[in-house]
Structure 1
């Protein structure tokens, strides 16, 4: 399905860019691991271009064009794009899922802020839960309860990422903490960017994010039982590798500004062993009623898209089209500024 050379390129991209996923992927069967590596490479490279590129608007607009080409069956001549196009064809990947990811990255491109925890969950739904739903598609799972729990896991993992990166994001002028939390303590966003400190109030916000993540980690677990037997250890591994970051952050007093928390290779190996045991345990235990919990309101559209794929071509909504217009305006402004700089140099 995927050209071996393209797959090797994707594997290297993930090995260098996502240690936790690379570790967890070792426990997935090859039939899921290989397309998952290709999927994560496409998503991760796109995310990195937006996060760390000099021209965020241009990076998002470029991703929009790459997605259009992949779904037209004429991907850009690059390993990750060719591999992603192969996944679309083989697994009938609902376009609404990568479109959701694109929308989340577009929000990054316009440096959108989030007033409430619900809005942070909406962002997390797009940049992480959408990937969880796509992973279910790669396992050929379209059960709405399994999809709901997979989306819980995706949101939990993204909240963990946000909690871990508060300091790093602030120093880069990014903010994913709910702005109403800052308002509650009278902290101005620009003042926080100018001098991010691990104050008791900021640590309390990190703790609140991790508490929500922990709730969703536990809510996600019953869904793993509904996945193919061979895939369960790998998904448990992803759950435990990310959760371990939050636990280590808690042991350090929820300070994610003074240093960036990460887990060691030895710790990850222990978590892989734990994941194998938990996968065996969940297979023989009675199914929890939690599996039937309604999806988070913020992810319901993802569950519906994956469980009931619409064969009609997707029509981008006014919301994302408005974001694209903002990005295009920013991109033109950046290009004009560069032109003037060169002209006056």
Structure 2
């Protein structure tokens, strides 16, 4: 029981990391079933912490080596004394997630640190596979869906989301000394990444490159979302909600005339909630998962995670217990806060509102 309470505290800390670090993921996760929500939160928290470390000013390859040591320790069953590491170790063991998957994610972070150039679309997809599709296959694993087709579609949905991120963040990335647009495409428009980074400025030529990237994202997105139909029914709404949020971001970039230098497309909290509420009736429903071969750049992730139905051994029961414990703690904390806001004279609650965060 002591270990269970400790793990519950770790997962509670992971939820805080996600609430502050990735609002889109947090809102979409509210629609996932308890065990999947907590497992995915543990995975995403470790990814978020790792990404933040790699993105710190002055981050070096030594910092990345330290992350690899943390990853090795988690897989050895001796995770570092950090909430994200502890919860992550439990999840990857329970759901049989191969270490090569998060290790590929760290390789993507390494490419950021060394300033890797992306000459072709395939190069950009290689990067996106590492920083985004890795999350997709891990999510599929915690949903206990390990068939080749489902994993391929999960990877491709991750690719599409990352391409949308790149299109949205061209200006922000350039100001941070990075460019993820294919050099070949830039050259065709008389542009290059060095000039873009030195002087981020929107031009119609740059807009055409961003449009082209979004068009690629749309094609991959249409393939990736078919995999939602192969997920457990209880998980489809959450994944569909996330897909809708990213599609909305892409449409906002288009509505802004592809100018992501001077403005950053985003969806408000209210809009995210609206998309979540609309997702059950949204026509992202398919008769079945597309059986096309995986996009070449994600095939290595599919190969690593594919399992026969008999070999899938995920065990989410311990997470259900933790979820119940977290809810109990939330209710106790809220009750205490509400009691503290009551005035001694009237016993009525003050105007301070205490909201429960699921």
TM tier, smaller: 0.7 to 0.9
Q: Within 5 Å, which residues of 2 pair with 1:219-258?
A: 219-258=223-262
- Out of 191, 194, 198, the residue aligned to residue 198 of structure 2 is 194
Contact 2:133/2:159 (8 A) holds in 1: yes
Distance 1:75 1:20 in 2: 28
**1:90 matched to 2:94:** yes
In 2: Cα distance, 1:49 partner to 1:261 partner = 25
User: 1:170 aligns to what?
Assistant: 174
Q: What pairs up with 1:140-179 in 2 under 5 angstroms?
A: 140-179=144-183
Deviation at 1:308, TM superposition (A): 4.2
TM-score normalised by the chain length of structure 1: 0.85
Distance 1:267 1:216 in 2: 24
**Residues 231-252 of structure 1: CA deviation (Å, up to 9, x unaligned):** 0000101111111111111101
Counterpart position of 1:137: 141
1:143 is displaced (CA, Å) by: 0.9
Tell me the distance in 1 between the aligned counterparts of 2:167 and 2:52. Answer: 18
User: How far, CA to CA, are the matches of 1:256 and 1:3 in structure 2?
Assistant: 41
Deviation at 1:190, TM superposition (A): 2.5
2:306 counterpart of 1:307 = yes
What is the CA–CA distance in structure 2 between the aligned matches of 1:251 and 1:12, rounded to whole Å? Answer: 33
Distance in structure 2 (CA, Å) of the matches to 1:260 and 1:287: 35
Contact 1:233 / 1:278 at 8 angstroms: preserved in 2? no
Whether the 8 Å CA contact 1:114–1:179 is kept in 2: the answer is yes
Whether the 8 Å contact between 1:53 and 1:59 is mirrored in structure 2 is: no
Structure-to-structure mapping, 1:321-340, within 5 angstroms: none
The SS at the match of 1:263 is coil
Confirm or deny that 1:295 pairs with 2:304: no
Larger Rg: 2
What is the SS of the residue equivalent to 2:161?
helix
Q: Deviations over 1:216-241 (max 9, x none)?
A: 11111221111101000001011111
Q: Is the 8 A contact 1:10 1:79 kept in 2?
A: yes
* Secondary structure at 1:225 match in 2: helix
Structure 1 position 94, deviation (Å): 1.4
Q: Aligned to 2:297, what secondary structure does the other structure show?
A: coil
Q: In the alignment, what sits opposite 1:265?
A: 269
Find the aligned partners of 1:111 and 1:194 in 2 and give their Cα distance: 14
Structure 1 segments, 4+ long, off by >3 Å, are none
Does the aligned pair in 1 maintain the 2:74–2:80 contact within 8 Å?
yes
TM-score by length of 2: 0.82
Distance 1:204 1:131, change over 3 A: same
Question: What CA distance in whole angstroms lies between the structure 2 residues aligned with 1:258 and 1:36?
Answer: 34
Backbone CA RMSD of aligned residues: 1.7
CA distance in 1, matches of 2:256, 2:18: 28
Q: Extract unaligned runs of 5+ from structure 1.
A: 312-345
| In 2: Cα distance, 1:48 partner to 1:56 partner | 13
Q: Which residue of 2 aligns with 1:286?
A: 287
Aligned to 1:185: 189
Answer yes or no: is the 8 Å Cα contact 2:230–2:288 preserved in 1: no
Give the 3-state SS of the residue equivalent to 1:16 in structure 2: helix
Can you give the 5+ residue segments of structure 2 that lack an aligned partner in the other structure?
312-358
The alignment status of 1:214 with 2:213, answered yes or no, reads no
Deviations 1:96-150 (CA, angstroms, capped at 9, x unpaired): 2112111111111211111000110011011101110000111111111111110
SS at match of 1:292: coil
